[in-house]
Structure 1
Amino acid sequence: MEANAGLVAGSYKRNELVRIRHDSDGGPKPVKHLNGQICQICGDTVGLTAAGDVFVACNECAFPVCRPCYEYERKDGNQSCPQCKTRYKRHKGSPRVDGDDDEDDDDDLENEFNYADGNNNARRQWRGEDADLSSSSRHESQQPIPLLTNGQPVSGEIPCATPDNQSVRTTSGPLGPGDKHLPYVDPRMPVPVRIVDPSKDLNSYGLGNVDWKERVEGWKLKQDKNMMQMTSRYQEGKGDMEGTGSNGEELQMADDARQPLSRVVPIPSSHLTPYRIVIILRLIILGFFLQYRATHPVKDAYPLWLISVICEIWFALSWLLDQFPKWYPVNRETYLDRLALRYDREGEPSQLAPVDVFVSTVDPLKEPPLVTANTVLSILAVDYPVDKVSCYVSDDGSAMLTFESLSETAEFARKWVPFCKKHNIEPRAPEFYFAQKIDYLKDKIQPSFVKERRAMKREYEEFKVRINALVAKAQKMPEEGWTMQDGTAWPGNNPRDHPGMIQVFLGHSGGLDTDGNELPRLVYVSREKRPGFQHHKKAGAMNALIRVSAVLTNGAYLLNVDCDHYFNNSKAIKEAMCFMMDPAYGKKTCYVQFPQRFDGIDLHDRYANRNIVFFDINLKGLDGIQGPVYVGTGCCFNRQALYGYDPVLTEEDLEPNIIIKSCCGSRKKEKGINKKYIDKKRAAKRTESTIPIFNMEDIEEGVEGYDDERALLMSQKSLEKRFGQSPVFIAATFMEQGGIPTSTNPTTLLKEAIHVISCGYEDKTEWGKEIGWIYGSVTEDILTGFKMHARGWISIYCMPPRPAFKGSAPINLSDPLNQVLRWASGSIEILLSRHCPIWYGYNGRLRLLERLAYINTIVYPLTSIPLLFYCALPAFCLLTGKFIIPEISNFASMWFILLFVSIFATGILELRWSGVSIEDWWRNEQFWVIGGTSAHLFAVFQGLLKVLAGIDTNFTVTSKASDDDGEFAELYVFKWTSLLIPPTTVLIINLVGIVAGVSYAINSGYQSWGPLFGKLFFAIWVIAHLYPFLKGLLGRQNRTPTIVIVWSILLASIFSLLWVRIDPFTSDATKAASRGQCGVNC
């Protein structure tokens, strides 16, 4: 699909396809049959021999059979022609099978000595590839070719086992068991040796003939040429291998290119060992503390004591789930220079993998178009080959404002992208680049930079004015709906009922930048929506992008960002490729997760919007186990992992997990059991066939005489049931290295792209269940990452020195609480679903500590219930004069002291190895209490209502814009929400409790001050955690909502009445006298 095709809108079910503002009338053309004979078994072309002749399997009847089917029949079939039943004779290059005659004239010794290579060469010839590949290319994964309908072959790759990595491609796809003519060759096995009779002519063995002589002569010429080059290099280097000549430099470069692209930087043991010791000590102390609390009740305050003990037991379990996944924290570093030497040498075509970048947006009024435009501009200017990058913008609200702003962005990108690359500026989002308060002339040496920067800033300001004009125009929708510039009605006027829309703005035939260079492809996508269909919100939009990108560009890797997360580091994609394209990690890595960093947050980060503790401590800890969880943005995916395939597993990966080991005993004693287990796991993992996909009509004609099982394996219906009824998309799923199948007709891509984003495409498929973003929760990111990890994939946490992405976070309290509410609601949905980590995925390869981390991500909202009770306990203790702890001895007080010391020691040692500041840690603790007593509590009830009663809560998009009256104008703004009621209540009752407790102590004398200190400390500790909330509540009285004031007065009145009922200033004797109960003290 070309960029000049205009806006394309259509509906697959309605058989509609409309082009708006299109200049030509070229419509889609049907796919044509390829010329040549067709194999009557698999439907592929028969192919040619090495001499250029048509391959003839049977010399008797010439029944058309391709070379791979011929090899398969000889090795695993009945070794005879399906038509005349004559036994197949061995052709040159074919491996010998039982029954072949040694006197056969087509015998060749070369393939006898290397069966695996011969079989691979035959397979490459079948695919039309060059059989004489280098040793490095043999490490690349190979795959038989899937066929589309009409019998057209497409090129693709599926990895097979190689002797170097000794790994097994384990898949769980729909094709059935693995292809039997793709054997696993063990390099340790002895090479089969054949005895040659010297009395015979060597031509009968394939030696001495013309072909053999040509090969020998070619080999000699190649060796002579290499020697001449080496000699000339020595002369340039003056014979010194380690000198400064070109030879030494090239050898050094070659050595660097073979080095790993990344490495794990272990945290010093001097930091980790004390940390782990303190964790163990804290666990022991916690056990003794809980044992003491459970066995020493408070008799006159039994309800308060029981509630406190239950809360403390839950807090202990919550701490275990949060702490132990941080047992193996690691750091990583990448080597971009080695990546360039291996895949992106100057003067040579780039071998970097193609990447498709996804940007998702819904409502342009909440997610301003200017913010989205900056994100898109930073993607288009990324430091990556332009032909390897494509940007897809998903407009799930079908807003004409988004479309028009993207059109303006594409025009401005023609000027902005060459400016960024010429002067190597960072960041490459113009709004944030021009807003930097730094010396922008640092490291700039070109005299024209100042003039060009001034001109570019003016261009950007004019661009902002045009975007602002579009936003102002979009504030009020006309009664007849929006119309485009040519007078055509906008197809997306009804956001809930509109056809699918696609527009390619930049890319192939989309124009050049001001320097005459190509630009990355920019595609606008709005999936079809119709009433009566479930659209699955963001997860459904992302799955639509997966399919449409596979049809148009099919990048091997996908990178998704939110519309407000721009590329702060232009080399972010290369950072991810250091892991994805690394031979050691690439085949097992499902995604590379980058941390989230934010702009526009006040210096003290009052509401912990940066979330530093989660990104710099928790995710680092998970990186040492099986990888970080997917956090929804700033993540680079392996497309094959999203398709539901299993990773490449080695012998070590196939070993039993810790549960199996504990059941089976040690490895030495139970070697036989482990071997059987590994064999069983390997056999179970080979559930996806690597055979090609065939035309159904050709199969029905060619499978006569074969059993039903083989016919089922060659069926394409299983793939259509899995991926949907799009032959072009199905063919693209087999292109592991990316790219469009060579046989795909470009004119059909337009119709297929509209087809795969239609509203009913996912019906009766595995989309959202096993493939793509997983449905079932508003936090689709947790489910998606969990499914991948359960299959055995690993993920990588990449923290480059310059943050890869930066976003805008709201700085007022109400919006973050609503966002936390959505996350917690999604966790409750997962907790009550079949995908709950507590019971799902035990047959996979999910590691124990990784499972604990996922369990923690879905049960943490439940902590809000005991947290709310525990925060209210100090007030009740102060108002009633009771306490949750009985009078303790000096020995018992030791457990309290040790517990507090271990808690602080754990936190301090965490800060030591992570580099997080104590201020960030304290802000995180404060917001944990604020969120726990508000958003998490509401999420529990909303999740229960949705799952048990079917009452769905609306998904609201967090506003990405702030008021214009100050840099931190919204810092004290409290937009009214019911989430503010619980923390307000907790805060007021604790303040009232403190006043009541102090008043009671003053009235009762000095003997009551001792017990009061423990209660006061308890209450002040709660208020200290709620201090940011209190400061925001009282910071700007003129901005505090009236409803909050009303609630505060109401709650204060209630507790004032309680105060009067308690009457702490009146002594007990006076109260008794007033009731007529005068005693000896009267």
Structure 2
Amino acid sequence: MTRLIIRILAALSVIAGLNYVVWRWTASLNWDAWWIAIPLVLAETYSFIDVALFSLTVWRMSEREDPPDAPAGLSVDVFITTYNEEPELVLTTARAALAIHYPHRTWVLDDGARPEMREAVERLGAGYLSRGDEWVGKPRHAKAGNLNNALHETTGEFILILDADQVPYPEILDRTLGYFNDRKVAFVQTPQYFGNVPDSDPLGSQAPLFYGPIQQGKDGWNAAFFCGSNAVLRREALMQLGLTNYVADTERRVGRALAVGQRVVRRARRRPEAGDPKVASLLSRVEAAISEGSRRLAAGDSIGDATYRVQAHVDAAVRTLVAEDLAGVSIDVAALREELGMDSPFDEATEELDEAVERLAARDLSPLGALESVRAVLDALSVERVHEAQPIMPLSTISVTEDMSTSMRLHASGWRSLYHHEILAVGLAPEDLPSMLTQRTRWAQGTVQVMLRESPLLMRGLSWGQRLMYFNTMWSYLSGFAAVVYFAGPLAYLLAGVLPVNAISVDFFARFFPFMLVNQLMFWVAAQGAKTWRGQQYNLALFPTWIKACTTAAANVWFGRPLGFAVTPKARQEGGRPLRLLWPQAIVAALLVMACVVGVVRWVLGLNQGLGTLVNIAWTIFDFALLSVLIGAAKYRGYDPAGESAFQTTKEKK
């Protein structure tokens, strides 16, 4: 019955929203104030699309019964990831992991490589893993690299991944492994719940909307996300994904190298030295060999078969030209190595090598230098992938949020996922505003990275429902730009008398209020009593965080600017001035207060309409209600459970 009600409300939300947005575009725009009218209607259109995507999400909310019994005899590794967390925090999680009922092996993956951590972990009887010498000087890929390293050091059929602060319940594997009786299930995600959060949840950590109707809805579309912790994954699925991506990446890079080689040789043929019949013949043979290699690769032949003939012809041509004339060889080779920016082309990281290949394609080389360059590039792009610490990377390394990218790739490969809506581990949420902002920024940056590098709308293998479920989450982080417009709307009218719509009329109220009311009712019913207001507040109040995340992620993807990986502090950070982090919101709040005062004065003086003034003051009051969450956030100094253990009382709180 609940699902039917949700579907009715979802349909009504979309219909009412479409009615409002179409009217706004076709009949209400104040073109005399286009500079605010157009941004506002674009922001409203963005919000309507957001509502439509949420409506689609909850349309298929899963309603799972008790999970199947866990089959006996499965081998399971429990991974606890850590970098710089306090040893006692990690050991608390390790002790709980060792107490899990289902037979398993517990491993602490210490990316900080701390000797004292190794000693303490081994005293508990758990396994300890850190990276070896093969990672020195190679891209580390943050948490994804830590997990990928551990996958190559262990053998369990299934892996339970826990963050350092996520203390598991003993029954976590008994409640999740039964789902893997379906051979197509790649992972089972459970909620992330935090035991150090008061009922007021001042930092909005619990996310009951996401770990509730959103994940349940995505589950109905076979698009539940892997969220980095509290999830059980099938090793076979991860390793298959790693192999598939390895082959696809190698084919892409070799194909690109062949295309660049073709361009380099063609440029060399235009040089005066190529007028020599023997040189021209050699270049023609190499060009034909490269074309043949490209055709073989496109036809699905192995990379070795596709490149062997090219390499053989290039090697033979280089030897012939060297035998004819050694002049310029050392100069060309030295220039090539300088162009690639390395002592040896075999030691370069992926992005830097790709840039070097592009620069190489634009060089004007002698015939011998061209052939030597083509040979060096083909060698540098060998199937060994020596620019990485290990050739197979099962978890995605294209983003600081490896979890979403990995789950999207698994779905595109035909694997299934499940969301089990039961709290089976309890973690620690940020206990101060700076830590929370660090966490939210990383989440948003990683999500935008994935959107720009591997858009779900273009990824092959995903169903249309899966595409929209992933896109919905990515789309939501663009809300910061819409928020700026929503603040600017009432400011424009109250301060200057500029109305973005033709008039505040019956047509406006008759379309706007039904849309808002049915939309909020849908959220309330879908949440099934969960407190979602805090999430709605932060969606608008953190607009500078979302804007910063979008711009920095775009700069990273498009221009190669470093992003880094910031670990969320698990304990309250002493000192600092959290209020200085909120200066954009403070400026907006001050402007809104000033606008209300000025608006009333203009109304008294007859410069503003009475109805327009009241509507826009009500708008500012709503904005204040959303921004007010930051007052409690700035004053928050951590959870005080009155002497009780947060972990011990979690089930009682629920």
* TM-score > 0.5 by shorter chain: yes
SS where residue 955 of structure 1 aligns? coil
How far the C-alpha of 1:302 sits from its partner, in A, is: 2.9
Identify the residue that residue 433 of structure 1 maps to in structure 2: none
Identify the residue that residue 571 of structure 1 maps to in structure 2: 171
Residue 560 (str. 1) matches residue 161 (str. 2): yes
CA distance in 1, matches of 2:161, 2:465: 27
CA distance in 2, matches of 1:940, 1:979: 18
Identify the residue that residue 627 of structure 2 maps to in structure 1: 1026
Identify the residue that residue 413 of structure 2 maps to in structure 1: 791
Identify the residue that residue 561 of structure 2 maps to in structure 1: 951
Change (3 A) 1:859 1:928: same
List per-residue Cα deviations over 1:934-986 (Å, max 9, x = no partner): 211101111122122211023221110137xxxxxx8xx87448752322222
CA distance in 2, matches of 1:309, 1:866: 10
Maintained 8 Å contact 2:223/2:469: no
Residue 390 (str. 1) matches residue 105 (str. 2): yes
| 1:581-730 matched pairs, under 5 angstroms | 582=181, 585=182, 587-644=183-240
Change (3 A) 1:884 1:1034: farther
- By relative contact order (CA 8 Å, sep 6+), the higher-ranking structure is 2
Change (3 A) 1:544 1:906: same
Pick from 95, 98, 115 the counterpart of residue 380 of structure 1.
98
Pick from 519, 525, 528 the counterpart of residue 130 of structure 2.
525
Residue 362 (str. 1) matches residue 83 (str. 2): yes
Residue 352 (str. 1) matches residue 73 (str. 2): yes
How far the C-alpha of 1:853 sits from its partner, in A, is: 1.0
CA distance in 2, matches of 1:372, 1:531: 25
Change (3 A) 1:299 1:623: closer
Identify the residue that residue 1012 of structure 1 maps to in structure 2: 613
How far the C-alpha of 1:626 sits from its partner, in A, is: 0.7
CA distance in 2, matches of 1:527, 1:324: 46
1:798 corresponds to which letter in structure 2? H
Residue 885 (str. 1) matches residue 501 (str. 2): yes
Q: Give the TM-score normalised by structure 1.
A: 0.44
How far the C-alpha of 1:578 sits from its partner, in A, is: 1.4
Residue 297 (str. 1) matches residue 29 (str. 2): yes
1:379 corresponds to which letter in structure 2? A
Identify the residue that residue 928 of structure 1 maps to in structure 2: 539
Pick from 481, 486, 494 the counterpart of residue 865 of structure 1.
481
Pick from 311, 322, 331 the counterpart of residue 63 of structure 2.
331
How far the C-alpha of 1:929 sits from its partner, in A, is: 1.0
| 1:193-208 matched pairs, under 5 angstroms | none
Q: How many residues align?
A: 501
CA distance in 2, matches of 1:575, 1:899: 40
Change (3 A) 1:782 1:332: same
CA distance in 1, matches of 2:500, 2:34: 8
2:41 corresponds to which letter in structure 1? V
Identify the residue that residue 399 of structure 1 maps to in structure 2: 114
Identify the residue that residue 184 of structure 1 maps to in structure 2: none
How far the C-alpha of 1:395 sits from its partner, in A, is: 1.2
CA distance in 2, matches of 1:1030, 1:955: 28
CA distance in 1, matches of 2:583, 2:65: 46
Pick from 593, 598, 601 the counterpart of residue 999 of structure 1.
601
| 1:843-992 matched pairs, under 5 angstroms | 844=461, 846-911=462-527, 915-917=528-530, 920-931=531-542, 933-962=543-572, 975-976=577-578, 979-992=581-594
1:1001 corresponds to which letter in structure 2? W
Identify the residue that residue 818 of structure 1 maps to in structure 2: 438
Q: Which runs of 5+ in 1 are unaligned?
A: 1-269, 344-350, 411-505, 507-520, 647-686, 689-759, 964-969, 1037-1082
CA distance in 1, matches of 2:133, 2:610: 70
In our comparison, the structure showing a higher alpha carbon Rg is 1
Identify the residue that residue 1080 of structure 1 maps to in structure 2: none
Identify the residue that residue 423 of structure 1 maps to in structure 2: none
Residue 807 (str. 1) matches residue 417 (str. 2): no
Change (3 A) 1:405 1:289: same
How far the C-alpha of 1:627 sits from its partner, in A, is: 4.1
Identify the residue that residue 772 of structure 1 maps to in structure 2: 394
Maintained 8 Å contact 1:597/1:807: yes
| 1:229-628 matched pairs, under 5 angstroms | 270-295=1-26, 296-334=28-66, 338-339=69-70, 343=71, 351-363=72-84, 367-385=85-103, 389-408=104-123, 410=124, 506=125, 522-528=127-133, 531-549=136-154, 554-567=155-168, 569-580=169-180, 582=181, 585=182, 587-628=183-224
CA distance in 1, matches of 2:550, 2:149: 31
CA distance in 2, matches of 1:317, 1:770: 38
CA distance in 2, matches of 1:396, 1:853: 32
SS where residue 153 of structure 2 aligns? helix
CA distance in 2, matches of 1:541, 1:765: 17
Pick from 440, 459, 477 the counterpart of residue 840 of structure 1.
459
CA distance in 1, matches of 2:16, 2:131: 57
SS where residue 636 of structure 1 aligns? strand
Maintained 8 Å contact 2:46/2:482: yes
Maintained 8 Å contact 1:613/1:916: no
SS where residue 644 of structure 1 aligns? helix
Pick from 444, 447, 452 the counterpart of residue 827 of structure 1.
447
Change (3 A) 1:937 1:809: same
Identify the residue that residue 649 of structure 2 maps to in structure 1: none
Identify the residue that residue 8 of structure 1 maps to in structure 2: none
How far the C-alpha of 1:766 sits from its partner, in A, is: 9.9
- RMSD of equivalent CA atoms: 2.9
Maintained 8 Å contact 1:818/1:935: no
Identify the residue that residue 657 of structure 1 maps to in structure 2: none
Identify the residue that residue 432 of structure 1 maps to in structure 2: none
CA distance in 2, matches of 1:992, 1:814: 28
Identify the residue that residue 42 of structure 1 maps to in structure 2: none
CA distance in 1, matches of 2:507, 2:601: 32
2:102 corresponds to which letter in structure 1? Y
Change (3 A) 1:605 1:762: farther
In terms of mean alpha carbon deviation, does 310-319 or 804-813 score higher?
310-319
1:927 corresponds to which letter in structure 2? Y
Greater fraction of residues in helix: 2
Maintained 8 Å contact 1:592/1:798: yes
CA distance in 1, matches of 2:474, 2:609: 44
Q: Which runs of 5+ in 2 are unaligned?
A: 243-299, 302-381, 638-654
CA distance in 2, matches of 1:1032, 1:827: 24
2:621 corresponds to which letter in structure 1? I
